[in-house]
Structure 1
Amino acid sequence: MLIIVLVLVLVAFGLLVAALTTANTLFAWLSVVVSVAAAALLVVDWLSSRKRKHEARETGQPTASESGADDEPEPDDVPDPVEEPRAAAVDAPEDEPGEEATDVSDRLVVSELSDEVRVLDERPRYHLGSCAFLSGKPSLTLPVSEARQLGFTPCALCTPDSVLSARHRAAG
């Protein structure tokens, strides 16, 4: 569909150039008509893709946006700020500390911070650099907002969300 729209836009541009060089208004009007047709095709394609997404959601099938094919998020696709993604298919090992019970206001503050936290490979929690759980374990550094987006959750031992949000509020 987009190729057809591209061809129509190129034809409209050619007609516009012809109208300007020959001073013939017929070419200008044809350019307008072809441009409107291209816009109409785009609207029809957009509406049909929204309908397909809605039908796929009702049947429980993944949509193109869930598979990463659609760059533009739908208003319905914006996640609820209270719900946090979980690290998929990673069960917490027995020695893993629990998840910090984070206040919603702290979650919102932390989700916008660029302060760095530490994560362990194949582990679902993120930690402060001073967390006792990290001692002697190789860890990676990430901004806390990115760790949240990737599905990591805060450690109950070092309580990174509470510490970072309190630090941010004190600084601001």
Structure 2
Amino acid sequence: MLFVVLLLVLAALGLLVPALTTSGMVWAWSSVGASTLAALVLAWDWWRRRPGDPAADTQSVDQHLAADDHRVVEPEDAGPPSADEEPPEEDTDAADLLVVADLVDEVRVLDERPRYHLSSCSWLAGRPTLGLPVQEARQLQFTPCAVCTPDRVLVRKSRAVG
């Protein structure tokens, strides 16, 4: 769509040159018409892509990713991630994050994976893991798994003890 607009703008500029050099009104009005048509195409494209439009909702995922004003939202109850997918990140409360930063409880991490897990996490399912203190895992930029919610469990355990 932007390619069409670009062509119309270039045509308007091309028509403006003879309008200025020959003082011909036909060239000038043709330039104005091409510019107006380019504006109408842009407005139509914006209208077609606006959020909440049923036609925009049927666009492919690639089109959604390419558009700056659209965000692809995955359904919340999609079930557990498959074996090859990374589990989502746990949403940790700021107060809980301060508690987790000081804990030395062991969590499990997988090589080349960004999440840390509890040893009982169903997503790990027999994969080779390494044990790290949660404090060190956080310092190494690992994030908590949303399947086993290690931050929530460790904070609850820490508050129950203390």
- TM-score, scaled relative to structure 2: 0.46
